[in-house]
Structure 1
Amino acid sequence: MSNAFPPTNGAIPQRQLILGGVRSGKSRLAERLASASALPVTYIATAQAGDAEMAARIAYHRAQRPAHWETVETGTALGAAIADAGAPGRLVLVDCLTLWLTRVLCSDDADALLAAERAALIEAVRDSAGPLIMVSNETGLGIMPMDALSRRFGDEAGRLHQALAALCERVVLTAAGLPLVLKGDAIEATP
């Protein structure tokens, strides 16, 4: 992918969090950064095909990724998937944290599962053996939802993003396909 957004200093941050709204360009940016790293990539997908439309979306995204990337589809055990895939000299790309969070919150015994899996995720990110890029939807820019589950989702996503941002060397907010670096080294956008 020649249209990469490489770090300006040539180094790959150990941990990166890329946030943005729907169709903001966050996944495309993460994939470009992964490609620009020239490292082998393990792509951890968290989406689940609950209907035909979502299955088509997943198939489309699979087709867009380089064929030589390893893909791991995970359920709620995201921390374990990151720990298993991580290795020195191998980049792990997770897309997306909010889809994972939705699966956890909609599961049976969500409270216990959230506590355990969030802790496992934080530990895996903190201890990542190789470079890690995580993609997530920034949902905290809209109005307060009317129902309890949606409010809880917003609260938990915000808490998760803050905890992960504290661990990451680079945090980026994307809008209209443009990266705004909130923490860490700048990203050059090349035409």
Structure 2
Amino acid sequence: MEKALRELIIGGARSGKSALAEQRAAASGLEVVYVATAQSRDGEMARRIAHHRERRPAYWGLREEPLELAALLAREASPQRCLLVDCLTLWLSNLLFAGDAARQAEAGEAVHCPLLQGQTQALVELLPTLPGRIILVSNEVGWGIVPMHPVSRLFGDEQGRLNQRVGAACERVTLVAAGLPLSLKSPGGSAA
């Protein structure tokens, strides 16, 4: 039986991070359950979701959870399973817009979002305790300019914080750029 392993795979849009996550899940030799966080709210997102579905093997399990990710992982994780979460970026966006954070940022108010804070804290605390293999996909959004729009700034700040916290809780962190993986942290090792 494989030792428990948590991995964060980050990269920009269309960098190849989801494809790498799927390759690693398939190579795990475990039962794979794909955990989708996306919500189909427009045609473009529906096409993205369809593309991901077509790429995955039909025998992989599928769970969809836009908000309560930690609760789903707690229920589904087992030593015989690989849970592939794609992606934390859409999950964070769902949390920001399900709560009052986006409206508060837009209005120039101090942002207080118990839903966002509670769900991200629950995930970070749960990760080290999960059995099996957990692969989490997330976007690296902090390499561009600081956005002018307050909601975009809030999102970028929260995404950066989430990636740092999840990366600290994982044994392996991989950055993907131009389809090429770069190890940032490996099991038994540390970050550079």
Q: TM-score range by the shorter chain?
A: 0.7 to 0.9
Identity across the alignment (%): 54
Query: In the aligned structure 2, how far is the partner of 1:124 from the partner of 1:13?
Result: 13
Q: 1:21 maps to which residue? A: 12
SS in 1 for 2:98: coil
- Corresponding residue SS for 1:141: coil
State the TM-score, normalizing by the size of structure 2: 0.87
- 2:170 matched to which residue of 1? 168
Q: How far 1:109 moved relative to its partner?
A: 3.4
Aligned ranges for residues 171-182 of structure 1 at < 5 Å? Answer: 171-182=173-184
After superposition, the C-alpha distances for 1:73-132 in whole angstroms (9 at most, x for unaligned) are 112111111111101121110000010000101113340101111111112212212110
Unaligned runs of 5+ in 1: 1-10, 186-191
- Count of residue pairs brought into register by the alignment: 175
Q: How far apart are the structure 2 equivalents of 1:13 and 1:179?
A: 21
**Aligned to 1:146, which of 145, 148, 157?**
148
| 1:12–1:37 CA contact under 8 A, matched in 2 | no
- The 5 A counterparts of 1:83-162 are 83-110=74-101, 111-162=113-164
Match of 2:24 in 1: 33
What code does the residue aligned with 1:59 have? A
Q: Secondary structure at the match of 2:44?
A: helix
The alpha carbon displacement at 1:13 in A equals 6.2
Write the distance in 2 (CA, Å) between the matches of 1:12 and 1:46.
Answer: 26
Label 1:165 to 1:137 Cα distance change in 2 as closer, same or farther (>3 A): same
Does the CA contact (< 8 Å) of 2:4 and 2:130 recur in 1? no
Query: TM-score, structure 1 length as denominator?
Result: 0.88
CA distance in 1, matches of 2:180, 2:152: 28
Q: Which runs of 5+ in 2 are unaligned?
A: 102-112, 188-192
Partner letter of residue 23 of structure 2? R
**Paired residues of 1:13 and 1:170 also in contact (CA < 8 A):** no
- The CA RMSD measured in Å over matched residues stands at 1.3
State whether residues 80 and 132 of structure 2, in contact with CA within 8 Å, keep that contact through their aligned partners in structure 1.
Answer: yes
Misfit runs of 4+, over 3 Å: none
Q: SS of the residue aligned with 1:106?
A: helix
One-letter identity of the residue aligned with 2:177:
A
Equivalent pair of 1:79/1:123 in contact (CA under 8 Å)? no
Contact map agreement 1:80 1:124 (CA 8 A) in 2: no
CA distance in 2, matches of 1:18, 1:12: 19
